[in-house]
Amino acid sequence: MPAMTAKPRDRTDESLIALRRILRATELYARDLAQAAGMTPAQLRVLQVVDEKGGATPKALANQMSVSQATVTALVDKLVARGMVERRSSEQDRRQINVVMTALGESTLEHAPDALQQRYVRAFEDLADWEQAQLVSSLERVADMLDAKRLDASPVLTTGELPSANVSE
């Protein structure tokens, strides 16, 4: 077999393998990061979203994270117990609750040593200008190919918990 001239099929596999490595690396680091911040990945994710948005309702958190409102309630309970966030009733609509950061939450997030992101950012910023441009365009292209519905995303590299998908047993 001519080792050269990779057929399209080989390239597809190569791209999938690279993608899979990207996914696994971020998964693995998400655990370590959460551990380092003294909480679980799911809790950290809530904290990140609340921080990013400058406060959010459980409803909004549930949508953003694609989990049920009940799950958000449980996660927020734990973050409240740890003093990371507070619940504040809305004035306009008293059914709504706003989840907001506490000073402790802010500083915990601030000091979470995001090793993966730091390493990545450092490496990325060491690249030549044209290389950066090419990487961004490639990543966006792949994201478009995967993410048809264009989800709202933020520049924070953490994965969330996957739900157990409650399937028979």
Partner DNA sequence: GTATATAGTTAGTCTATCGAATTATTTGAG
Partner DNA sequence: CTCAAATAATTCGATAGACTAACTATATAC
Among a second copy, DNA, none, residue 96 binds (CB under 5-8 Å by kind): DNA
x/- letters, 76..115, toward a second copy (CB under 8 A): --x-------------------------------------
Among DNA, a second copy, none, residue 48 binds (CB under 5-8 Å by kind): none
Torsion region of 104: left, alpha or beta (phi above 0 gives left; psi -120 to 50 gives alpha): alpha
Shortest distance (Å) from residue 93 CB to a second copy = 22
Counting contacts by CB under 8 A, is residue 167 touching a second copy? yes
Segment lying near a second copy (by CB under 8 A), choices 11-19, 68-76, 88-96, 104-112:
11-19
Distance from C-alpha of 40 to C-alpha of 75, rounded to nearest angstrom: 10
Do residues 25 and 116 touch, judged by C-beta distance below 8 A? yes
Sort 156 into a burial class: Cβ within 10 Å, 0-12 / 13-18 / 19+.
middle
Per the structure block, which two tokens stand in for 109?
Answer: 């997030």
Segment lying near a second copy (by CB under 8 A), choices 26-34, 55-63, 84-92, 102-110:
26-34
Counting contacts by CB under 7 A, is residue 160 touching DNA? yes
Counting contacts by CB under 7 A, is residue 54 touching DNA? no
Shortest distance (Å) from residue 162 CB to a second copy = 5
Q: Which residue has the tokens 């915990």?
A: 108
Distance from C-alpha of 112 to C-alpha of 116, rounded to nearest angstrom: 11
